[in-house]
Every structure is written in structure tokens, then in C-alpha cells.
Amino acid sequence: MSGQTESGTPFSDVYGPGDPEGFDPAVALGGPGAFPYTRGVHPGMYTSRPWTMRQYAGFGTAAESNARYLELIAHGTAGLSVAFDLPTQMGMDSDAALAAGEVGKVGVAIDTVDDMRVLFAGIDLAKVSTSMTINAPAAVLLLLYQLVAEENGIDPALLTGTIQNDVLKEYIARGTYIYPPQASLRLVGDTFAYCAQALPRWNTISISGYHMAEAGATPAQEIAFTLANGIAYVEAALAAGLEVDQFAPRLSFFFVSRTTVLEEVAKFRAARRIWAHVMRDRFGATNPRSQMLRFHTQTAGVQLTAQQPELNLVRVAVQAMAAVLGGTQSLHTNSFDEALALPTPKAARLALRTQQVLAYETDLTNTVDPFAGSYVVESLTDDVEAAALALMKAVEDRGGAVAGIEQGFQKGEIESSAYAIAQQIDDGERVVVGVNRFTLDEDEPYDLVRMDPALEAAQIARVSRIRAGRDDVRVRAALEQLKAAARGSANVLPPMKQALSLRATVGEVSDALRDVWGVYRPSEHF
């Protein structure tokens, strides 16, 4: 779009009260790119360039996922987002007994550096930004990515992207944890410290409210429990000896965007404002980038329906618009068929095209924070902020995020909310088009992506070949060095990288830490 309306009236980059040509940052709301960042973290936001358009993909083998990534890049994706299968998320190898039937099902199977090599074949890692949705073994997958980049002659200092690395929300809403909370925080802190030296442009954590929202959290609960977890990560990094402005600029967040546009816009604005005050007033951060809440958004998977699935195209477009109006830094749009199976290539392309229509055919990118000053949005922003702060205080009163998790507080609050939503849908009080209103007797069939059962056997055979072809003595010695670091206070990532470079598997590295730190068992609260 040009910088003017269809009627020929020029747009101002920023609007504010009494000043159509700009916004006075002295007023309480603040200007975009200025504390407390209610209106956005950058002065120009999308007027200078649109958000990063990511597409989340990963299934089957590394070779299959690589083909999908190359296709997405060819269609204009600026950032990749990697989905890993459940065994990888749990730090298990594809040939582990518990992995049977799950290999490659909900994401790509990665067992060794060889798989990571195949996953990114033909992709210039110095030019693409990669987000990896991985938590308990996040450090392991990041090091594999670094090893592949170095093999291709790329300076790790040039690598850009994000690891989710947010294990606290796993205890609250998702369940793919491995180690006890304090050990997990130790690993997160070691990752912060390692990346500050080796991968300075990498976002070391994406503190996630998305999965809490998918589990039933309200918008206020989503940002409250996410920011409470963020506080715990900051405290862990400070306890490890890092200075706040050394690591805080690389913190990022991950939120959902639902169809309730007005409240979602208010939620994003309130989250930025709360975090800015927490970082400046509580932790003394002086670097403006330490005070900025930068976030990725994904449209709401939980709102996709298997009934009349083409309606999901409309839902996703509305959700994506809410994320853009709320000032997201990057966005993934779900495919309309994801309630049925893994997305088809055509569905994934349509999801990307949805973002491109918003960026290039609408006027949303012509001005910053279009809803600023709206009576309803400003009031909702204040309301969501107040509700979130009250919940954050409740977490603090219980001893902080980890103590709250151990007491089952956050999980219990979310489950109560989820139950209320389910009741409202069952009673028809909350309308879901195609499900409890405007239904059809029978939906038309769709061609779905189906996994070939032979893929699991092939991946297991691949792991066996790799183990047979490596220097096992050196691998075992490297794993012992990793255990020694885990028992003491040394950073565990350097010995971990050494083991992985020798073709130690994801499961073997995770097992080495399990041997030292143990595994987490939920209490009776769960």
C-alpha cells in the first residue's frame, strides 16, 4: 500500500491526541518506541517494514521437512519455525521404547547432527531467521544448529533466530518437561551465558503464553503467568552472575492471537507496558532493549474446527489481523486443515498468503498502533493490565513462579477457565460457528497428509548406522565430561557441544543430564 488512503488523503506515520502529524511522547500513553512501549517497541513499526512472516513446519524425516522449508522460502517466508516430534521434545531417540509410534508424527525427528544437516540442506543459515519450538532439550538442538552452521563456514555471531527454551510453562500447561524445575532453570541460565558469548544475536528464550492459552487460559492469565515465568528466568540469570542488560535484550515472548480482536489488541499492549515497568523498576534495566517486550504470535490452534474446516481460513485471517493491530514482531498463521491432520502444501501456502494480503493489500502497515486512543481499546488495555497484575501478585505471594508451579496454582487457575469455556460452548452461550450453531449434517471430505509408517523404521535404522559408525570411546568420554559439568557449577553447553560434534544423540545427551539431575514427577496437585 502507498502512504495514503484510497481517497488520496495522506497517512501520518503516528497519530495522537490533538496532533494529526505525530504523537507527543510526553502524554501518559507514551509514543511508539518509547517507554513503556504500550504503542509498540519501534517508533515506525510496520511503516518501515512488515513483521517477520514465519511458517511453523516439521514432520516425518529431516529430508521431508527440508523440502517443505525450501518451498515456503520460495513462496516468500522470511523466517522458518521448526516443529519437532514428541520424542525429540522429550529428549528421546527415535529408537527409544517410549518413542514407538510417535516418530515424525507432530514434527520432525532429530536424533543427531546428521539429521540437522539434512534439515537445513540448501538453506543459508546466515540469511534466514530460524525459530525452534523446543524446550527441555532446547540447548541440545541449538548446539546442533550451531554445528551445522560452522560446518558451512558461517560465523555463529551471524546466526539469528529463537529457541523457545521455556520449560516452566511445560509444568503448567503442556507436559514436555524432563528435569526438575530448578535444574531446568540452571540449564536455561547456562544457555543465556553461552549465547551471550557465542551467539550474541540469538534470542535465547521465547517465554510462552501460547500453550497456556491453548490449554484454556484467559488473556489476563496468559500474560500474567507468562510474565511471572519471565521474572523467574531473569532471577535465574542474575543468580548465575549475569548482568541484566547483558542478557535481557535477547529475551522474547510468544503469545496466541484469538478471534476476539479488541481484547487481543489490548492484551498485547498491556503486556508490553507491564514488562517495561518490571524490567526498569524491579530489575534496574537501563538498556531500552532490555525493557522492550518483543514477541512472536501464532493464531489460535484451539479455535480451529474439524467441522466445516474452510471456516478456519476466516478465523485465521481475523486472528492474524488482531496480532498485527497489537504490534507483533513475527507471526505464524495456522493452516485451515490443521484440525484434521498435518497441513497440506496448498493449505500452508494459503496461510502464508493470508499474512501477505494483510501486509501488502490493506492499510494496516501505513500507521503505528491504529487503535490508540480508542475508548474501548484503551479501557480494555487498562482492564487487562489490572487483572494480569493481580494474578502476578498472587504468584508472588506463593513464592514466585516455581513455587506456584509446585503448588499447582497456575495450572489450577487455567483448568478452571478451560472448564468454564467448555461449559459455555456446550450450553450454546459461546457460539462456535459450524460446531454448535450453523452446522451441516455432513462435511465434505478432504485430502489429508498421512504419514508413511515406514518412515519410523527408516529413522531408527539411521540412528543405528550412525552409532555403529562413530568413535564410541570418544563419545562416552565426552558424555562423562558433560556429567561432570552438570554435577558442578561449570556451564554445561561447551561439553554438550563437544559430545554432539562426535555424533552423540539427543537422547544420550539428555540421559547424561537425567543421570545427574533426575527427572520431574508431578505432585498430587496435578
DSSP states of 380-447: HHHHHHHHHHHHHHHHHHTTSHHHHHHHTHHHHHHHHHHHHHHHHHHHTSS--BTTTBS--SSPPP--
Across the strands, what pairs with 133?
83
Nearest 5°: CA angle at 480, between 479 and 483? 90
CB neighbour burial string for 208-217, b if at least 16 within 10 angstroms, e if fewer: bbbbbbbbbb
What amino acid occupies position 369? D
Determine contact, residues 157/217, Cβ cutoff 8 Å: no
Q: What average pLDDT score do residues 380-399 get?
A: 96
| 102, part of any domain | yes
Determine contact, residues 58/108, Cβ cutoff 8 Å: yes
Identify the H or E element spanning 291: helix 288-291
User: What's the mean pLDDT when you consider all of the chain?
Assistant: 92
Identify the H or E element spanning 55: strand 52-57
pLDDT in tens, 422-438: 999 999 999 999 999 99
Nearest 5°: CA angle at 97, between 81 and 117? 35
Identify the H or E element spanning 81: strand 79-83
| 521, part of any domain | no
CB neighbour burial string for 318-327, b if at least 16 within 10 angstroms, e if fewer: bbbbbbbbbb
Nearest 5°: CA angle at 163, between 232 and 203? 75
| 428, part of any domain | no
Determine contact, residues 72/57, Cβ cutoff 8 Å: yes
CATH code (residue 280):
3.20.20.240
Q: Which pLDDT score is estimated for 518?
A: 97
| The pairing of beta strand 160-163 with beta strand 205-208 | unpaired
Q: What is the DSSP letter of 216?
A: T
Domain count, the chain: 1
Q: What percent of the chain has pLDDT over 90?
A: 82
| 487, part of any domain | no
pLDDT in tens, 284-293: 999 999 999 9
Q: Which pLDDT score is estimated for 450?
A: 76
pLDDT in tens, 473-501: 999 999 999 999 999 999 999 999 999 99
Q: Which pLDDT score is estimated for 524?
A: 53
Q: Which pLDDT score is estimated for 7?
A: 64
| 88, part of any domain | yes
Q: For residue 127, is pLDDT > 60?
A: yes
| Range of lowest pLDDT (217-221, 280-284, 374-378) | 374-378
Q: Which pLDDT score is estimated for 517?
A: 98
Q: Which pLDDT score is estimated for 368?
A: 96
| Range of lowest pLDDT (47-56, 80-89, 398-407) | 47-56
Q: For residue 20, is pLDDT > 70?
A: no
What amino acid occupies position 444? E
Q: Which pLDDT score is estimated for 174?
A: 87
Helix (H, G, I), strand (E, B) or coil at 205: strand
| The pairing of beta strand 295-299 with beta strand 160-163 | unpaired
Domain span at residue 155?
Answer: 45-367+378-414
| 334, part of any domain | yes
Tell which residue, 110, 177, 173, has the closest CA to residue 147: 110
230 contacts: CB under 8 Å, gap ≥ 6: 207, 251, 253, 275, 278
Q: For residue 168, is pLDDT > 70?
A: yes
